[in-house]
Structures are given as structure tokens and as C-alpha cells.
A and B are shown apart, each in its own frame.
Chain A
Amino acid sequence: MATNDLKLLSTPSSPFALRVKIALNIKGLDYDNIVETMNPKSDLLLQSNPVYKKIPVLIHGDKPISESAIIVEYIDEVWKNNGTPILPSNAYDCAIARFWVAYIDDKWYNSSRNHLVAQNEESKKANFDQMEEVLLRLEDVLNKYSEGKEFFGGDKIGFLDIGFGSYLSWLRVTEKMIGKKVLDETKTPALVKWAEAFVAHPAVKGNLPEIDKLLEFAKGLVQRMAAAACPK
């Protein structure tokens, strides 16, 4: 039993669950990782997140917390004296970090997911263009806020690093599926370097899903969506 009484309901493929794992690692916290099959959803999941019935859920003692970005902030606040800070210390920098994570969860999440499951070329292209726009914006943000250091958070990985970094494995899967670079050093050189540093970070590596397994999972997902989209 984990000494802090922490349970994480997760799946291996979820970028959102990955965010929580990284935050827990940064703080050096042990936890019970409970892998959900999602089919069926466990009683524990249904009780802990009745509104969305989704993972990740962090259960701290008897307190369930849902929504990955909210869980990361919770971890940072409770264990503020552990490891390194995840959110910046000043209010404005916090607002900027929260803004960009919300932007990523809107624009990147939707366009990358829709690109993956798009049924026609037009839709694929529109979503890919949106993905490129996100990357160009993040390149600017990285150049502006890192002050020449490795991460969005500076020397240490922070909220925005975790926010976008958690999507990198899926980004690599997309690259394999379309046979083309998504993260391109000719377009976003700083982001390419950042990605290498992120996946090598001790709090991150060892927690990333294997790309080949994720690729198989993604292909299965795409097939199921295509079957569902076919007219009956």
C-alpha cells in the first residue's frame, strides 16, 4: 500500500493519465496504479468520477480528483515542498501556463484526434493544418518563455511542458501512420529539441507507452471509428 495513500485510475495509452504520473514522479510520490479496462468501467471509477466516468482519477485517501490538469495542480499544491514546483510562482506566469494548457487541450487534442479518425482527405488536411498552427504557436511560446533554457518551465519541467509533452507519444504514432513528420526541425526547431529533452527527463522516461503498442491501439481505434461511420 502506497504510504501517501494514492491511487491512480489510468490506462496505458492515455496522455492525460501520463500527465498525472509525471507530476507524481516529479514529487517523488509512490502510488497504486490501477489500470482500467474501461469496458466495463469499474465501480471504483464510476463512484470516483460520476460526472464524466473517465480516467485519470487520482484518489488521495478518500478524496477523488478528476481532470488531469486539475489533478496536476492539486499534486503541486499538496506536495509543494517535494521535488520541484510545477506551476510558476507568480500569478501572471501561472495564468499564461493555464491559458496554453487549455489551448492545447482544445486545439491540439481536437485536431490531432480528428486527423487520426478523419474519413476523407479534406478533413485530414484541415486538421493537419490546425495541428501545424498549434506547433508554430508553441514554438513562439517556447522561445518567448524558456529564456533559452530547455523547457517551457525554464530549467525544470513545468505545467506547460507536462501539458504538451504528454501528447508526444501520440504525435509519434501519427507520424508513423501518415509516414510524414509532424514535428519538423525545419519549422519548429526549438520544439524538436524540447521534445527530445522532455522524453529523456527522469520523471517522464519509463512512463511513456511503447510506440508500437500505441500504434496498434491507434489502428484499432481508427478501424472502429471507420466502421461506426460507414452507412448501414
Chain B
Amino acid sequence: MAPANEEEEVRLLGKWPSPFSNRVVLALKLKGVEYKYSEENLANKSDDLLKYNPVYKKVPVLVHNGNPIAESLVILEYIDDTWTNNSFLSQDPYERALARFWSKTLDDKILPAIWNACWSDEKGREKAVEEALEALNILENEIKDKKFFGGETIGLVDIAANFIGYWVEILQEIAGLELLTVEKFPKVFKWSQEFINHPVIKEGLPPRDELFAFFKASASKK
């Protein structure tokens, strides 16, 4: 356990349904770091959010001893550098480069493709679904027979792929799509089960029924 000492303050400004915000929750839990959490209402942004992330005004923002860091992948590396127990990045430069590459590819290519498919209208649906399946195929080829993307233990890419492990199942159900299934992507599917059943990860993910209700409500507003 690495508790915050009296002088040390760790704060997270987040939004519970956001996978990006959740990444930071998972990382802090994996490190056993105590932190204060503030739920942000993005329709009514707090003064703190505007102060700590003036560039994007978005969550998550980690504030460590008054020093703010924004952008979830940047925050994850900062957490791994600062609290050195239970590393989620290898010391080997090539392994680190690969982990960074896959985390960035998740954000730049894979997550957007799947998100778009889940929110697509009739017109764009076919193409969006095709792209989402291509994106999942890229991951299927990458996970191979590893337990986690990080190997035997949870790594940076696993944390970054929380959306794939947990959110996709919910969003695809709401959208009436079959994107990530055991038949289509057996390896990614197997990984998702390892991920959500990991003892620390399990405690850090938001409750399924609440997450479902949240996105279902968003879907019906469209």
C-alpha cells in the first residue's frame, strides 16, 4: 500500500461514466494510492477544472500536490513514474515503445471506430461497423495468446483498453450490434473476461447497471 502521507495530496477530477476518467481510477487503485475524487458536471464546470485544465477544460485531471496533469495517457505514465510499485510499464525501451504505440492506437484509431459504430445512424452504419470490426481485428492480432496486453500482469495497454474490456459490451447491446463477440474475436473476448475479473480492476469499474442506464438515457436523447 502506498498511502498519501500528510503532505502529499492526490486529487482526481473525473466523470464516472467516462472510460478516460476510469483509466486513472484503475491506475491509482493498482498502485494502492489514496486520492480524493471530485465528480465533475461538464455542463457546469467547476472553478477547479477550469483552473487545472484551462486548455481543454475536460476530465480526467490528476492534481498531485497542487500540480495538475491532463490527458489520460499522460496521467497514466506520470502515475507509473511516480509510484514505482506494481509497474505497468516495462523498463525495456522497446517494450515501452510498443505499449505507448498500442495505447495511442487505441485512442486514435480503435476507440473512435467502435464508438462511431455504436452511435451511427442508419446511413453511416454499414461502413462504421466495418471499420469497428477492422479495429477489433487489429487488437485480435496483437493480443495473440497473452493473458494481458502487458503479459502476465496488467499493463499500460490493458488499462488504456478498459473501453474495449467493459464499455463495448454495454454500448453494443444498446446499439443492437454484435461487435465484440467470442465467435468473432475469441482472443480479445478472452482478454476482456480476464480484465474485468481481475481483483483490482473489478473494484475500479463502474457498476454495469448504472453504466447501462447512463448510456441508454443518452441514446434515447438522440
Contacts and interface: CB of A to CB of B under 8 A. Distances in A.
Contacts of B105: 51-52
Interface stretch (B69-77, B112-120, B165-173, B179-187): B69-77
Nearest to A96: B69
Interface string A67-97: 1001101100110000000000001101110
Contacts of B55: 103, 137
B125 interface: no
A52 to B, nearest CB: 8
Given A51-B138, A92-B67, A95-B69, A74 B74 contact: no
Given A51-B105, A70-B101, A99-B71, 20 more contacts: A52-B105, A60-B94, A65-B101, A67-B101, A70-B97, A70-B104, A71-B97, A73-B97, A74-B97, A78-B93, A91-B78, A92-B64, A92-B67, A92-B69, A94-B78, A94-B81, A95-B69, A96-B69, A98-B71, A102-B74
B109 interface: yes
B100 interface: yes
Interface string B53-95: 0010000000010010111011101100110000000000110
A66 B96 CA distance: 12
Contacts of B109: 51-52
Interface in B22-58: 55
A95 B78 contact: yes
Contacts of A66: 101
A5 B56 CA distance: 41
B100 A95 contact: no
Given A65-B94, A73-B97, A74-B97, A102 B78 contact: no
A94 B81 CA distance: 10
Given A51-B138, A94-B77, A103-B55, A73 B100 contact: yes
Nearest to B102: A51
Given A99-B70, A103-B55, A77 B75 contact: no
B93 A74 contact: yes
Contacts of B69: 92, 95-96, 99
A67 B104 CA distance: 9
A99 B81 contact: no
Contacts of B64: 92
A206 B101 CA distance: 29
B106 to A, nearest CB: 11
B75 A95 contact: yes
A180 interface: no
A144 interface: no
A154 to B, nearest CB: 19
A51 B104 CA distance: 12
Contacts of A137: 55
B114 to A, nearest CB: 16
A99 B55 CA distance: 10
Contacts of B74: 95, 98-99, 102
A63 interface: yes
10 closest cross-chain pairs (CB), A and B: A91-B81, A77-B93, A95-B78, A74-B97, A95-B69, A70-B100, A65-B97, A98-B74, A78-B93, A91-B82
A77 B105 CA distance: 21
Interface string A52-66: 100000001001011
Contacts of A99: 69-71, 74
A69 to B, nearest CB: 8
Nearest to B98: A65
A56 to B, nearest CB: 13
Contacts of B70: 99
Contacts of B67: 92
